[in-house]
Amino acid sequence: ARSKHCSICNRCVARFDHHCGWINSDVGSGNLWKFLIFLLSTGAVCSYCSYLCYRVLYGIADKQQLFHLQIKLPTGEVTPIPYTYIFQYLAVFYGALVGLGCFCGLISLVLYGFFGYHVYLVCKNTTTSETFKWDDIK
């Protein structure tokens, strides 16, 4: 059956997909497109946040001239410091900003994955609830 009673909301939903805790509502035929826009826009905001963190950290590194620092190797050769050293420096002194950028970047990838999965389900004319039912039958 494409309609299902949601025990959490205590109501019947046409073409029930799933109950989403993030929007505290059921996703079905009436609001699936809104849910897809929610996933896409939240992913875009997280991507933008990650990009802003990168730009701020790059600006800090550039202002402190970290990209121009050099180290002397045991062989006597002078070489620019590796980018991993710059990242470690930024992670120690600007850890919250590095953490926020990495977290938002990771979350945006997960959100884009969810979005892609739900677009795939729309193209296949099925729902998340039906996919789990097919797995139970097999």
Q: Which residues are catalytic?
A: 20
Tell how strand 18-20 and strand 11-13 pair up: unpaired
Residues 6, 32: Cα–Cα separation, whole Å:
16
Q: Which residues contact 92 (CB under 8 A, 6 or more apart)?
A: none
Strands 78-80 and 70-72, bridge-based pairing: antiparallel
Query: Hunting for tokens 């730009």 — which residue is that?
Result: 55
